Structure 1
């Protein structure tokens, strides 16, 4: 099937998108009268997520499995997604962020913070790495940081107060 022949739609993410995402009514006709129970979402990295399609009243939504897709791609309110359907029930998804450019998932991951698995008393705890893990004091009292791709350059200093 040629790309021009593949049906597609877009969604701008608004509050409440993380649990389910509604498919436009006009697009549902592309299921030829029978909405499948499952579909696949192929993200920008090429991986495929199995997602349930659920009919709620007169709407069809991406349901179970959507949450994992959204979390893995660090989707946020304001992101713009395009969904292009193949011959079956797989959608290729392209994600744009608030800059109107294609979203770099790795950059989003580093901006939000690395998710770390910790085991405490045999319980796995998911969470962001505390900033304290990343800061070391130096004997000179300041740290100079230069990046290969700087947005800005700065020197962090510790202010000392006389008692």
Structure 2
């Protein structure tokens, strides 16, 4: 940390991480096969959009994902579905992407619908493929999984 003398606080630029970030809410019918990088975020690629990036999770796992550009924007494509499936993303989860220019990678933090960060998702749990989720998704209704704690047998009162 930079020394500023006589009890002065350090400059804000030395306190905050300078890596740019964006967030996305997981909606299976919209981003399960590709993820559009926000147009205003593209400026952080420093003049040249990379052909591929690495996605890192907090446990150190990595996924190689291609970046494709077309008339509709810039997208994470090949490798994205694998990330979605292996992370078992669910409707309403929030993903925060922090871009590291030096390594051309994103660190992805995932928050549940309860706004709590998922420190580690159990890789032993089975997951539904994106295709199956997409087939079951009805645009008029939002599927919400109930936890086992909420599944109680009705009590009988005398």
TM over 0.5: yes
Residue of structure 2 equivalent to 1:64: 78
Aligned length: 117
Equivalents in 2 of 1:24, 1:16: separation in Å?
14
Change in Cα spacing, 1:12 to 1:154, as seen in structure 2 (3 Å) is: closer
Q: Which sections of structure 1, spanning at least 5 residues, go unmatched? A: 116-149, 156-163
**Residue 8 of structure 1: which of 13, 18, 21 is its match?**
21
> Is the partner of 2:42 in helix, strand or coil?
helix
- Cα distance change of structure 1 residues 99 and 52 upon mapping to structure 2, 3 Å threshold: same
Candidates 47, 51, 55, aligned match of 2:69: 55
Asked if structure 2 preserves the Cα contact closer than 8 Å seen for 1:82 and 1:95, the reply is yes
Q: SS of the counterpart of 1:60?
A: strand
* Matched position secondary structure for 1:106: coil
1:105 — aligned with what?
121
1:20 aligns with 2:34: yes
> Which deviates more from structure 2 when the two are superposed, residues 38-47 or residues 96-105?
96-105
Contact 1:43 1:92 in 2 (8 A): yes
Q: Is the 8 A contact 1:23 1:61 kept in 2?
A: yes
Kept in 1, the 8 Å contact 2:97–2:107? The answer is yes
Deviations 1:82-133 (A, max 9, x none): 00011331000000111111124229x64xxx36xxxxxxxxxxxxxxxxxx
Cα distance in 2 for partners of 1:9, 1:27 equals 7
Q: Secondary structure at the match of 1:5?
A: coil
TM-score by length of 2: 0.65
TM-score (norm 1): 0.63
Q: Residue in 2 aligned with 1:39?
A: 53
Compare CA radii of gyration and give the structure with the larger one. Answer: 1
RMSD: 2.7
Greater relative contact order, per chain length (Cα 8 Å cut-off, separation 6+): 2
Q: Which ranges in structure 2 are unaligned for 5 or more consecutive residues? A: 1-13, 128-147, 154-158
